[in-house]
Amino acid sequence: MNIYQEELLDHYENPSNYGTLPNPDISHEEDNPLCGDQIRIDLMIEDDKIKEVRFRGHGCTISLAAASMLTEEIKGKSLDEVKQLSKDDILDMVGIPLGPVRIKCALLGLKVLKTGAYGINCWPGEEDE
Amino acid sequence: MNTSEFRPLDVENIRKDFPIFATEPPLAFLDNAASTQTPRPVVEAMDAYYDTYRSNIHRGIYRISEEATAQYERAREKVAQLINAPRTRQVIFTRNTTESINLIAYSWGTANIREGDEIVLTVMEHHSNLVPWQLLAQRTGAVLRFLEITDEGLLDFTQLREVLTEKTKLVAMGHVSNVLGTINPIQSVIEAAHAVGAKVVVDAAQSVPHFHVDVQQLDCDFLAFSGHKMCGPTGIGVLYGKMELLEEMPPFLGGGSMIRSVERDISSYAELPAKFEAGTPSIAEAIGLGHAVDYITQANLAAIHVHEQELLKYAHQRLKEIEGITLYGPSAPHQKMGVISFNIEGTHPHDVAGILDTHGVAIRAGHHCAQPLMKRLDVIATVRASFYLYNTIEDVDRLYDGLCRTQKLMTRRKQ
């Protein structure tokens, strides 16, 4: 059970904020070409804050659970605050050690968010490369 | 070699040559279609080069360089014998199967393929036997055509006559599918291709390590394989070609070793095989490959094949017991090699691989560099277990146990 903790499996089974928004201010989708995982995030922005968020996609436990956790984290926060979210923040949320391949699974949601909302088009953690 | 007297594999002793299996419980390494483990005799042969006669080959006027050259060329002889090449010079050392196929596509392809010519592939090709032909088609205006597979994962032979025409200049095809394990009827395809005047490239990366492949019997025009899938090191691969084709082909990479004489504006090129081996090659790796050939030949390729078939049959039986499992590829073990691709309903292949890893079982999950085949199977990815001479029934049992646990973990919550 070491790599698949209850909390992770809970998010995978019953993801938070799953679905789409009817008229999103921002909607962005990306996939991880390595494994075919795909995530779309819809955002509704009001006063520079994330008023509503939904995500949708298919993928492994890690990518979907991490995206679910991410949506909980960003809901109600300002765009500036959310922009500061880093690779390490996501890995802390996921809370289990991940190898280099699975790290990309965990970071897919954040990548979708950052590309869609800020046009930052690289994998979190690889910004200065 | 006396083939009439069949000795089964002595797996227990074979495993002693692989320190990686010395842990308790031993690693269940089931990712052999990607890369195999390296036995001590191969590592020791490479160490001996580095420790006692490390030097560049060819033209060295001193003892250890002569020794290195002799060992490098000895490796070529061993490879030539393994595949029954008429002449040792027909064996070109490359980095891997991918480089061998690219060499053919750039050298033979650019010289022989014209706009409107057709290159026939199958939908189950590894990207290494697909992308080089896409690039060639883009450069020349040639057209790619594909042989389809049946739902069982067998080549759709009925289509062959329609696809092969006088426009066909080349057929490039895997001998054994790296995903489904399907053994393709390559001999019949070669005959049919030659009947319309087409040349044939055989991607033998998944066949040469596992059973006896005879290039003269097949009558293939080119054949490519990699050292690292047959107990050899990484960084060394082989291209075999028919003499008249290799002779006519222009060089691929230019540089040292591949020339006869060099003027300011023009050069003349060396004889085979040097013409296609520009620059200092992977010397230690070639020597290692030669010893890997010795290793699998001594173990006996026929015995390796029988052993893998036994593991495959057993694995088929056990895996079928698992609820929600889908096995891809031929159901009859004799139509395939020791490769099993599968999915467990409701569980992503990466999750299966991740959980199996925590139980000491190494398998591969993903598209296996065969994305068109994944589309054909209508899956995003699969889980793949693949066997080699050192695998055991216990390895299969541990795969089965790990899959049962995966299944429990991922589905109990849905009840």
Structural domains of chain B sorted by starting position, each given as residue range(s) with its CATH number in brackets: 11-38+300-410 (3.90.1150.10), 43-297 (3.40.640.10)
> Could you confirm whether B220 is annotated as catalytic?
no
Nearest C-alpha in A relative to B366: A35
Q: Which of A32, A35, A39 to mutate to test the interface with B (most CBs of B within 10 A)?
A: A35
Q: Number of A to B CB contacts under 8 A, please give it.
A: 45
pLDDT of residue A125: 85
Distance in angstroms (rounded) separating the CA atoms of residues B85 and B306: 25
Phi–psi pair at B19, nearest 5 degrees: -55, -25
Q: How close B327 comes to chain A (CA, Å)?
A: 19
Q: How close A61 comes to chain B (CA, Å)?
A: 7
Distance in angstroms (rounded) separating the CA atoms of residues B283 and B279: 11
Distance in angstroms (rounded) separating the CA atoms of residues A24 and A43: 5
Q: Does A8 contact chain B (CB < 8 Å)?
A: no
Peptide bond into A24 cis (omega under 30): no
pLDDT of residue B412: 59
Q: Tell me whether residue A129 is in a domain.
A: no
Which pTM does this prediction carry? 0.91
Q: Pick A102's closest partner by Cβ from B354, B380, B409.
A: B354
Distance in angstroms (rounded) separating the CA atoms of residues B301 and B208: 9
* A35·B366 Cβ contact <8 A: yes
Residues of B in contact with A105 (CB under 8 A): 350
Q: Tell me whether residue A84 is in a domain.
A: yes
Length of chain B: 415
Peptide bond into B251 cis (omega under 30): no
Regions in chain B scoring below 70 on pLDDT: 1-5, 412-415
Which CATH number fits the domain that encloses residue A114? 3.90.1010.10
Identify the burial level of B253 via C-beta atoms within 10 angstroms of its C-beta, where 0-12 means exposed, 13-18 middle and 19 or more buried: middle
* A62·B350 Cβ contact <8 A: yes
Residue type, B4: S
* A35·B380 Cβ contact <8 A: yes
Q: Pick A60's closest partner by Cβ from B348, B358, B367.
A: B348
Identify the burial level of B317 via C-beta atoms within 10 angstroms of its C-beta, where 0-12 means exposed, 13-18 middle and 19 or more buried: exposed
Are B333 and B316 in contact by the 8 Å Cβ rule? The answer is: yes
Q: Tell me whether residue A124 is in a domain.
A: no
pLDDT of residue A116: 94
Tokens of B192: 């049919």
Mean pLDDT of A75-101: 92
pLDDT of residue A2: 53
Q: Tell me whether residue A127 is in a domain.
A: no
* A36·B414 Cβ contact <8 A: no
Nearest C-alpha in B relative to A101: B350
What separation in angstroms does the CA of B6 have from each of B294, B300, B305, B314, B403? Answer: 18, 9, 12, 21, 35
Positive or negative, the CA dihedral B368, B371, B373, B376 is: positive
Are A40 and A20 in contact by the 8 Å Cβ rule? The answer is: yes
Q: Tell me whether residue A97 is in a domain.
A: yes
Q: Print the domain residue range for A104.
A: 6-118
Beta strands (DSSP E) in B139-213 are: 143-147, 168-174, 199-203
Q: Residue B82, SS3? A: helix
DSSP one-letter string for B7-65: ----HHHHHHT-GGG-SSSPPEE-BTTT-----HHHHHHHHHHHHH-----SS--SHHH
| A51-110 residues touching B, CB cutoff 8 A | 58-62, 101-102, 105
* B348·A1 Cβ contact <8 A: no
| B386-415 residues touching A, CB cutoff 8 A | 409-410, 413-414
Q: Residue B287, SS3? A: helix
pLDDT of residue A1: 42
pLDDT of residue B415: 46
Q: Quick one: which of B374, B398, B390, B300 has its CA closest to B338? A: B390
Distance in angstroms (rounded) separating the CA atoms of residues B341 and A116: 36
Residues of B in contact with A96 (CB under 8 A): none
* A4·B351 Cβ contact <8 A: yes
Contacts of residue A126, defined as CB under 8 A and 6 or more positions apart, other chains included, come to none
Q: How close B392 comes to chain A (CA, Å)?
A: 26
What order do you get walking across the sheet with B118-122 strand by strand? B91-94, B237-241, B222-226, B199-203, B168-174, B118-122, B143-147
pLDDT of residue A96: 87
Q: Tell me whether residue A126 is in a domain.
A: no
Q: Quick one: which of B212, B200, B188, B203 has its CA closest to B242? A: B200
State pLDDT tens for residues B245-300: 999 999 999 998 999 999 999 999 999 999 999 999 999 999 999 999 999 999 99
DSSP one-letter string for B202-228: EE-TTTTTTS---HHHHT-SEEEEEGG
State pLDDT tens for residues A5-60: 788 889 998 999 999 999 999 999 999 877 778 999 999 999 999 999 999 998 89
Q: Quick one: which of B386, B379, B385, B384 has its CA closest to B345? A: B379
Per the structure, how many domains does chain A have? Answer: 1
Q: Pick B354's closest partner by Cβ from A1, A3, A37.
A: A3
pLDDT of residue B70: 96
Contacts of residue B104, defined as CB under 8 A and 6 or more positions apart, other chains included, come to B132, B201, B222, B224, B239, B241
pLDDT of residue B346: 87
Q: Does B351 contact chain A (CB < 8 Å)?
A: yes
* B413·A13 Cβ contact <8 A: yes
Instruction: Give the ranges where chain A is alpha helix by DSSP (H).
Output: 6-13, 61-74, 79-83, 87-94, 100-118
Q: Tell me whether residue A125 is in a domain.
A: no
pLDDT of residue A62: 92
pLDDT of residue B32: 98
Catalytic-role residue among B220, B231, B369, B404: B369
Q: Which residue has the tokens 């054909």?
A: B376
* B409·A61 Cβ contact <8 A: no
* B355·A36 Cβ contact <8 A: no
Q: How close B137 comes to chain A (CA, Å)?
A: 24
